[in-house]
Amino acid sequence: MKKLIVLLTIITLFTRCNEELTIDREVFATTPEAIGNISFTSRGHIVYSHHPFYKPENRVMIMHHRSKKTSPFPNKQWNTPNDTNELYLSDVLGIRNDENSIVWMLDMGLRDTITPKVVGWNTLTHEVENIYYLDSTVTTKYSFPNDLVVDTKHKFFIIADEGIANGGDGSTAGFILVDMQTGETRKVLEGNRTTIPENKPLIIDGKPLKINGKDLLAGNDGITSDAKFEWIYYAPLSGEKLYRIKTDDLLNPNLTETELDEKIEIYSDKPNNGGMSIDVDGNLYLTGLETNSIKVVTAKGRKVKTIMSDDNLVWPDGISYNYKDGYMYVSASQVNKGAVFNDGVDLTSPPFYLFRFKPIAEGVPFR
């Protein structure tokens, strides 16, 4: 009888464990061009960047939740370069929305050699909310500002810079901070041990990813914040460690770089990953670039577990929560199949997939 009770207990615990990591997932839509990062309007429509790796005609798109119809966002004019001003989108990957119905687009400015900027579009008034420029005091020729946290509590944009543009090796990776109230910018943790890439090359289908014969090693990439904006979680794309730092410390201008470094915590192990998101329980969701999968770092125990994998989830990139339908959305951008990694031959195969799944706990919007 005791053996039977023990066996039943084990089965029950195993079942509960499986239930906690069982997710409802599906292909939400397919697109003819690769999706980079993902955000949402207050009505739940999907606003996403076309991955700049492929030099798309339209940099940002909107997809209506029900019809799946798409069009340039915010309009065609903003997706069309011109010679008279910089009021257009050049090279967008990072994109986030906030609780004020504003979609913030991080324009790296690399494609047209213009000043990088953060453009906010108010989806209620259908006009520009604000534009913040990232000048040469916080960017270099190697800057690759690819993702951001829109911190409406502290009123800051916290931007992850990979440091891999124009042949950069990630050694200048760090954070770019933008004060929403003044527009002032500064860069912190540049070249820090936690923002530069580890020597952990990406290997997909047994093939190391190389550019011009060198392993692709990318710095500060995935970034998110907890529900209360108390912690910033981040990691270099190439690396086995995930870090966190208190937001108040990261934004504190009185801390030296050495003092700031001492505030950083090693949070958990991780795979080589791109995007990152979080739920209300503190579980962190990471895109597993090498394994066509979504990983979760559990809040309890900080263990890395696979919760979703699919053959069509090739180079999972952006990952964001849509509070309107309760799903986490993730893109598959096939970056590893691009010509630059395959001797000049484009091996991508449309369509490109946009998946969605139910997270373990309710996701945190606007992250």
Residue range 55-82, pLDDT digits in tens: 999 999 999 999 999 999 999 999 999 9
pTM over 0.85, yes/no: yes
3-state secondary structure of 331: strand
Q: Which of 5-19, 42-56, 171-185, 267-281 has the lowest mean pLDDT?
A: 5-19
Assign 230 a pLDDT band (cuts: 50, 70, 90): very high
Assign 21 a pLDDT band (cuts: 50, 70, 90): low
Assign 212 a pLDDT band (cuts: 50, 70, 90): confident
Cα separations in angstroms, 21 against 202, 282, 285, 301: 26, 14, 12, 14
* Share of residues in the chain with pLDDT > 70 (%): 94
Residue 22 has pLDDT above 90, yes or no: no
DSSP category for residue 197: P
Assign 24 a pLDDT band (cuts: 50, 70, 90): confident
Query: Tell me: domain 2-32+108-119+128-320+334-357, CATH 1.20.1270.10, correct?
Result: no
Locate tokens 């991080």: which residue?
A: 106
Q: Thinking of the domain 33-107+120-127, which architecture would CATH place it in?
A: Beta Barrel (2.40)
- Mean predicted lDDT score pLDDT of the chain: 93
Q: Nearest to residue 281, comparing CAs of 264, 301, 266?
A: 301
**What pLDDT score does 11 carry?**
36
pLDDT tens-digit series, residues 96-146? 999 999 999 999 999 998 999 999 999 999 999 999 999 999 999 999 999
Assign 25 a pLDDT band (cuts: 50, 70, 90): confident
Instruction: Specify the domain boundaries for CATH 2.120.10.30 within the chain.
Output: 2-32+108-119+128-320+334-357
Residue 366 carries which side chain, given as an amino acid letter? F
Residue 188 carries which side chain, given as an amino acid letter? V
Q: Nearest to residue 252, comparing CAs of 360, 161, 177?
A: 177
Locate tokens 């829109």: which residue?
A: 150
**What pLDDT score does 7 carry?**
40
